[in-house]
Structure 1
């Protein structure tokens, strides 16, 4: 028995007429009659009661029709699910991100992806960069978003991972609002030489930490690290508490907190890179759809920044 036999039987049962059923199926009536007869022979029961003028269902036919409906409905559902999965419209995506990603492209990316793929389950975890990398390699995350110093970190194709820059944004200085530097419109890095710094721990993201240190060294000093914090929100809170100053990505200026102000750096070219990383061998259609949305959001973000530039 094949699925087509079920469809043939359902067509005849609904039409109560072989000729009309054959027309609906776009097949010859004699062939349809042969197929139904073969089905009855295989089952060993009579499904249809035939007269010269009508066709009706036997008791066996009534029972078989109910089951045939369920089987065909499940088959149709299986086909639909398979097609949706192949297009990345259903499934699961596990996303890791550092705290600062929540202040730039990630919220818009998640919003758009949920609109375009409402049936995809998104599992989102805020994690430090080192934990993200390990969970990505172990297969517990599908894609990660983290801060990286693209100049000091070597290419990684040999690791089986793919990295792509999503956003490049300038650094700003976070200072207590009572600080003398808070009155400036821009702050040169050299003006921070004697200031205590609140920074992200190097052990959790060497690239991001080293980038800030390198920028300071290029301005002629090594930053005095007074306090470390693993979340950008905590760094800003510690600055507001007077623990020191910090260099943070410009998007963090959205985090308005009493006691802290943000000022642009006087130096041009001091930028922070937000990168995405995923496994090179991950052929998931859901991931592919997510990457397309990510690139569209990133392009729009770049276009918006260009329009804002003087």
Structure 2
């Protein structure tokens, strides 16, 4: 049984006239009659009552018609979904992001994705840069938003956001009432930092920034997440140099201040595996 046999049957069932059905199908009437007879022989039951004056569906033919029409609707849906998948309009994308991205670029990512690829499901994972690189290697995420630099031999990357550095200090700190804070005034302060291996690019940039005015930060405490760093500042454990957008994280007991000095720019890069781009990921990358 071929699909065309079912199409012939549905057309004849709609027309109940061999001549009109043959005309719609762009074939001659005798071949149509022959194909319907072959279908009935294969099925083992009659589909039509035929007389010289009219053609009628049998009871079995009526039931068969309902099911065949359902099959064609399912086929049309399958074709439609297949085309959507082939164009990257439907599917799933697994995304990693550093915690600070939630305060700058992540909301725009989600909004733009909903507008451009609304039928693509996004699965989000908050991960450090170091964790994202491991997950990319394992195929557990499709794309990441990390603190560069990254290995250009293994990954494709694109800078998607840049910002300055600011200082987070306890609200009762002597410097908290100043409009801007000089980096030199922090020489004797204790700093809260994240371990270097988590995001060496950002870590080295902060250290280099301090060394430009003649000191290396004195470590009071390490913390993995930016939210934890800010919480430790609120607890008066120390001060922290953080990306500018982190001031969107309002925490009682903490104030954010800009530096007198011009700060280096810190970036967020979008990265993905080289030579491993699905159609869905390709559509996602087009957004940026």
Instruction: Give the match for residue 223 of structure 1.
Output: 217
**Among candidates 159, 165, 170, match of residue 171 of structure 1:** 165
Quick one: distance in 2 between partners of 1:269 and 1:199?
Answer: 17
1:115-194 to structure 2, matched below 5 A, reads 115-148=115-148, 150=149, 156-159=151-154, 161-194=155-188
Give distance in 1, aligned partners of 2:170 and 2:217. 17
Q: How many residues align?
A: 288
Q: What is aligned with 2:8?
A: 8
Superposition TM-score, scaled by structure 2 size: 0.91
Query: In the aligned structure 2, how far is the partner of 1:288 from the partner of 1:230?
Result: 32
The more displaced of 89-98 and 281-290 is 281-290
Query: 1: CA distance between counterparts of 2:181 and 2:264?
Result: 12
The 2-side partners of 1:267 and 1:27 are apart by 83
201-210 or 27-36, larger mean C-alpha shift = 27-36
Aligned to 2:84: 84
Corresponding residue of 1:302: none
**Distance in 1 of aligned mates of 2:211 and 2:124:** 36
1:150-189 Cα offsets, whole Å, 9 max, x none, are 4xx5xx3422x21111101111111112222222222232
Q: Distance in 2 between matches of 1:223 and 1:6?
A: 78
What's the Cα RMSD here? 2.0
Q: CA–CA distance in 1 between the matches of 2:95 and 2:237?
A: 33
Q: Is there any run of 5+ residues in structure 2 with no aligned partner, and where?
A: none
Corresponding residue SS for 2:164: strand
Whether 1:253 and 2:250 are equivalent positions in the alignment is no
Matched, 1:214 2:208: yes
**Divergent runs of 4+, >6 A:** none
Distance in 2 of aligned mates of 1:277 and 1:31: 59
- How far 1:4 moved relative to its partner? 2.1
Is 1:37 matched up with 2:31? no
In the TM superposition, what are the counterparts of 1:280-291 in structure 2 within 5 Å?
280-291=274-285
Whole-angstrom CA distance in 2 between matches of 1:157 and 1:235: 30
Residue 189 (structure 2) pairs with residue 195 (structure 1): yes
Distance between the aligned counterparts of 1:107 and 1:216, measured in 2? 31
TM value normalised by structure 1 = 0.85
- State the distance in 1 between where 2:164 and 2:53 align: 83
Give me the whole-angstrom Cα distance separating, in 1, the residues matched to 2:160 and 2:234. Answer: 29
Q: Tell me if structure 1 keeps the 8 A contact 2:92–2:122.
A: yes
Report if aligned partners of 2:180, 2:258 keep a CA contact under 8 Å in 1: yes
Structural mapping, 1:255-270, within 5 Å: 255-270=249-264
